[in-house]
């Protein structure tokens, strides 16, 4: 069997009522003919939306096909033992040209019971934000189901939601159960469990091109929401240059930030997991094997198979990479 290598995938672009053109203008994605490109699914094993390899001898194969052949060599033995043929993460870039719906995602237990799916815990890394742009994460006070429903029914939901003004580099961790919404004018990277289950709570009475409002999931959302008040929801993290700085660590993924201006060597023998690099600024070469090179630039995502174990990353100038693994 031929040796694995850093894998790139053809982006899966999604037309969204709230999408815009930053995926093309800032991340070099080809969004034509989509009128409102809201999401670029970079790596996905979601049924019906499986990513397809775009480089090397595996070009044209879906991620699920590669996983079926290479198993633990692709994702790590412990990861394959736990998740089998299902790739455990969904990696996206999101362009919010308008505010997204206010929503919540179920946890693993509820999602399995209702949808035979994983839950959806996620995190956001803000890549660019228009002046004054903000997002919603959590509530601004402690409340219960009764008060929440009263505010929802009286059209006063805004009064209990926590709004956060953002700028490039800000990170928000969104565990399943936390009410949230990306605001207008924000471009971000999203790392999440493999799940497409979303409960839409409020959508500002928007209508699509056919004059229809989008479905709301009020009753399902009530039991999925965590009503706990958490005062500080933005994630602080270190930015020491030329090392992996821990940003988010949870049961479902770990994300580090690498800000590089010199070549570094990465040894993955201890983690028994694939790695994902999302380039959020600059460009670099990923060097592996006997002098082989895979370039990565802003807006690109690369999957490093678990079997690769050792790589060098050589920045061209300065580069910022999100490093993700299980």
Report which secondary-structure segment, H or E, holds 314.
strand 310-315
Contact between 322 and 50 (Cβ < 8 Å): no
Q: Which two tokens stand for residue 80?
A: 């394959």
CA-CA distance, 227 to 162, in Å (whole number)? 12
Residues 142 and 59: their CA atoms lie apart, in Å, by: 51
Return the active site residues. 200
Q: CA–CA separation, 161 vs 53, rounded Å?
A: 40
How far apart, in whole angstroms, are the C-alpha atoms of residue 51 and residue 198? Answer: 21
Angle at 183 between CA 178 and CA 185, to 5 degrees: 150
* Beta-sheet pairing, 122-129 with 186-193: antiparallel
Q: Give backbone dihedrals phi and psi of 306, rounded to 5 degrees, phi first.
A: -60, -30
Residue 233: exposure state from Cβ atoms within 10 A (0-12, 13-18, ≥19)? middle
**Burial class of residue 301, CB neighbours in 10 A (0-12, 13-18, 19+):** buried
Answer yes or no: are the C-beta atoms of 194 and 118 closer than 8 Å.
Answer: yes
Distance, CA of 30 to CA of 21 (rounded, Å): 10
């Amino acid at each position: 069997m031929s040796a694995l290598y850093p894998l790139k995938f053809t982006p899966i672009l999604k037309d969204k009522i709230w999408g815009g053109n930053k995926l093309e203008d800032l991340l070099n994605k080809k969004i034509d003919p989509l009128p409102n490109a809201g999401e670029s699914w970079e790596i996905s094993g979601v049924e019906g939306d499986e990513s397809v390899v775009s480089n090397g001898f595996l070009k044209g194969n879906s991620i699920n096909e590669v996983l079926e052949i290479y198993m633990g060599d692709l994702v790590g033995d412990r990861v394959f033992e736990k998740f089998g043929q299902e790739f455990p993460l969904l990696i996206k870039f999101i362009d919010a040209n308008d505010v997204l719906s206010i929503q919540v995602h179920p946890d693993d237990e509820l999602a399995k019971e209702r949808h035979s799916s994983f839950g959806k815990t996620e995190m956001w890394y803000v890549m660019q934000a228009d002046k004054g742009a903000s997002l919603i994460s959590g509530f601004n006070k402690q409340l219960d189901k009764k008060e929440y429903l009263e505010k929802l029914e009286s059209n006063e939901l805004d009064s209990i939601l926590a709004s956060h003004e953002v700028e490039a580099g800000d990170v928000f961790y969104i565990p399943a159960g936390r009410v949230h919404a990306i605001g207008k004018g924000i471009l971000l990277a999203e790392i999440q469990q493999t799940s497409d289950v979303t409960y839409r709570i409020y959508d500002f009475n928007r209508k699509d091109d056919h004059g229809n409002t989008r479905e709301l999931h009020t009753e399902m959302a009530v039991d999925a929401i965590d009503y706990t008040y958490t005062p500080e929801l933005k994630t602080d993290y270190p930015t020491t240059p030329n090392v992996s700085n821990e940003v988010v660590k949870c049961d479902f993924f770990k994300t580090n930030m690498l800000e590089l201006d010199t070549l570094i060597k990465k040894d993955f023998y201890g983690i028994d997991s694939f790695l994902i690099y999302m380039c959020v600024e600059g460009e670099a070469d990923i060097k592996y094997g006997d002098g082989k090179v895979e370039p990565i630039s802003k807006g690109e995502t690369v999957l490093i198979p678990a079997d690769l174990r050792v790589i060098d990353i050589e920045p061209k100038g300065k580069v910022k990479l999100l490093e993700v693994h299980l």
